[in-house]
Amino acid sequence: MTFPTTRMRRLRATPALRAMTRETALEPADLVAPLFVAHGDTARRPIASMPGHAQLSVAETVREAKTLAAMGVGGVILFGIPKSKDATGSEAYAEDGVVPRALRAIKESVPELLLWADVCLCEYTDHGHCGVVVDGRVDNDRTLPLLARAAVTYARAGADLIAPSDMMDGRVGRIRGALDEAGLTDTPIVAYSAKYASAFYGPFREAAESAPQFGDRRGYQMDPANGDEALREVALDLDEGADMVMVKPALPYLDVIRRVKDRFGVPVAAYNVSGEYSMIRAAAERGWLDGDRAALEVLTAIRRAGADVILTYHAKEVAPLLGGEER
């Protein structure tokens, strides 16, 4: 059947028809909001490159978590800005570190909100790399026990999901083993499996004060040119016990999200990273595009590509816009 029998515009004629035939749903419960928890009592330290976001004190993090939960946002993922950094990132696995303290406080006052804990050393090492550096190189195998220790610390403090973002080989298996040994057999692991060495992490590194002090992360994060390799990463992480896998960033890698979903059929998360957020906010501030509409379009596209869950700095701004009139 072709025109004039077929007219594709018939089902686009009214908001009700469009709503009824829409293929992709986006709900606040699908979203996870990243929060930056800083040491000290200063409630909020604004992050210049991420308008609307700030480093938060533990008390302010709890308040923010309550607001997000009331909006129906599914979860938060915490990143810590410690008081002091050292060569092995000790505050990443210290029981009284900022992230464990925030986890305990949020768990107590907002128990319904899912708490994700990012596991990585880069915010806690004085050199800013994601693992232990030996002879100028990030040493994979020496980093693994530290990551496992951080994971157990966070899970004990109340994290519902453990999300390793370091890109060391074998970390999912090590973390699974450590969690199981600690009796935390029911704590799921979300592996940042396909994490690319991306320019879009720029604002995050200001927010988390985690820029590498020498070199870059290309020796452990993926080359943006590679897609097949992402499928190998995912397969390995699933074999090691990952419950959910992640693609990061999201927008430049929608093809990877789709391939992962089609090939493995497992829950897929996508991280709509800091630079993806900042470029929309910057353009919106200049009046070059409608920021709310652009954010909704991007998030819908990430869902359409196959992501079940989206980690996004837009969570708070878009949650009130979802489920209502189309924009």
Q: Give the binding site for ligand PBG (CB under 6 A).
A: 118, 120, 122, 130, 165, 201, 204-205, 217, 273-274
Q: Which residues are catalytic, by number?
A: 195, 248
Least spacing, CB of residue 108 vs ligand PBG, in Å? 25
Whole-angstrom distance, CA of residue 266 vs CA of residue 264: 5
Least spacing, CB of residue 264 vs ligand PBG, in Å? 22
By C-beta, is 63 or 205 nearer to ligand PBG? Answer: 205
Residue nearest to ligand PBG (CB): 204
Least spacing, CB of residue 131 vs ligand PBG, in Å? 10
One-letter amino acid for residue 225 of the chain: A
Length of the chain: 327
Nearest to 197 by CA among 147, 143, 249, 119: 249
CA angle 316, 119, 282 (to 5 degrees): 35
By C-beta, is 15 or 52 nearer to ligand PBG? Answer: 52
Least spacing, CB of residue 273 vs ligand PBG, in Å? 4
DSSP string of 25-48?
---GGGEEEEEEEESSS-SEEE-T
Nearest to 192 by CA among 240, 137, 233, 152: 233
Whole-angstrom distance, CA of residue 215 vs CA of residue 224: 17
Burial tier of 115 (Cβ tally within 10 Å: 0-12, 13-18, 19+): buried
Tokens 């090691």 appear where?
240
Q: Helix 171-181 crosses helix 140-157 at what angle (to 10 degrees)?
A: 40
Least spacing, CB of residue 30 vs ligand PBG, in Å? 17
Residues 6 or more apart in contact with residue 184 via CB below 8 angstroms = 152, 155, 156
Q: What radius of gyration, in Å, describes the C-alpha atoms of the chain?
A: 20
Burial tier of 150 (Cβ tally within 10 Å: 0-12, 13-18, 19+): buried
Least spacing, CB of residue 205 vs ligand PBG, in Å? 6
By C-beta, is 273 or 322 nearer to ligand PBG? Answer: 273
By C-beta, is 22 or 137 nearer to ligand PBG? Answer: 137
Tokens (6 digits) for 149: 């220790």
By C-beta, is 26 or 122 nearer to ligand PBG? Answer: 122
By C-beta, is 60 or 123 nearer to ligand PBG? Answer: 123
